[in-house]
Amino acid sequence: MRANGRGHSLPGVERTRNVIIGPRYQVRLEDLRDWHVIEVTCGRCGREGLLYPSTLRRRLPDYIRLLDLERRYACKGCGNRFGNTWRILEMSRNA
Ligand SMILES: [Zn+2]
């Protein structure tokens, strides 16, 4: 059961907020900065995964759209690819 707040138990993402860069289907990898992180919540098992732009850039072209990433992403817990929730979060920059 989740509280109403945006509490995160994930390491390194203690203070985040939702960032809306633009319509999700238009956002490309090149639009993301190093302080952004993509949080994917599995629609089946609820597992949360984090994708870091800097990591993605190493193996994917800058012009790839998040929409295309969604098609490739499979939950590490159950392998589900559908109904996942994608959110772009901003990490605190006080490091
Ligand atoms: Zn899952």
Q: What is the pLDDT of residues 74-84, one digit of tens each?
A: 999 999 998 99
Residue 25 lies in a domain: yes
pLDDT at 6 over 60: no
CA of 77 to the centre of ligand 1 (A): 5
pLDDT at 64 over 80: yes
Residue 91 lies in a domain: no
Number of domains in the chain: 1
Strands (E), 20-61: 36-41, 48-51
Q: What is the mean pLDDT of the chain?
A: 81
Contact between 37 and 13 under an 8 Å Cβ cutoff? The reply is yes
Residue 58 lies in a domain: yes
Residue 52 lies in a domain: yes
Residue 43 lies in a domain: yes
pLDDT at 9 over 90: no
CA of 75 to the centre of ligand 1 (A): 5
Strands (E), the chain: 16-18, 36-41, 48-51, 85-91
Residue 44 lies in a domain: yes
CA of 25 to the centre of ligand 1 (A): 22
Residue 85 lies in a domain: no
36 lies in which domain range?
A: 16-77
Residue 46 lies in a domain: yes
Place of tokens 């900065």: 33
pLDDT of residue 32: 92
CA of 74 to the centre of ligand 1 (A): 8
Report which of 27, 6, 14, 9 is spatially closest to residue 93, judged by C-alpha positions.
14
CA of 5 to the centre of ligand 1 (A): 22
